[in-house]
Structure 1
Amino acid sequence: VPTGLKMDDKHDPKRSAAEIVMTELHAGGKFDQNSYKVSGGLHGVGVSCVNALSAWLRLTIRRDGKKHFMEFHRGVPQNRVIEEIDGVAVSPIQLIGETENRGTEV
């Protein structure tokens, strides 16, 4: 799962890279040499399939001193917040606090 909070520019509203990887097949960085330095998995379907088949799944990302959180039910993002930034609809991953830790938890 990417720890980046970069927004995708193909969807409306724009979504975080984390949300895309959690909800779309073959969305991992392994299929695009310019995406991520590290990528796991074999076919790019693992976490999105687990997410789709799970009654609920929680994703926590700790990066740059911030803690971000997303929750899914059967693969569908819950409590999505849509913001408008420079006239563009964006669905960022929710900031829930500060932290000194780093990493991703699924």
Structure 2
Amino acid sequence: MENVAKATHNKNTNLLLEAVKKKIDKAVTKLQRHFEVLVNAQMNYLVQMKEGQQTKKEPQPELHMDETDDEATSEPLSEGHVFEEPRHIKQARSWKHREE
């Protein structure tokens, strides 16, 4: 009788241990996926930053005005002309006023 109880206890313990191992394996796999996503995102960010620096360093062609061109080729702005703020600045101002 005692042997049967020990065998049942060992069997239950082993089943519980297997269930815990499966949960740990799932959690580790999930964490590995998250780390892979984070590492890939970081690598993509660094590549984009590096590409951005390279494009900034590339020499831009100099613009020269031909001798035959007039000095001012566009119409002058009227005295009352007001430049419009860019949209992102307008949005920032509107959010600031909402917070107050």
Hey, which of these two has a bigger chunk of helix by percent? 2
- Between Structure 1 and Structure 2, whose CA radius of gyration is higher? 2
Q: TM-score range by the shorter chain?
A: under 0.3
TM-score under structure 2 length normalisation:
0.15
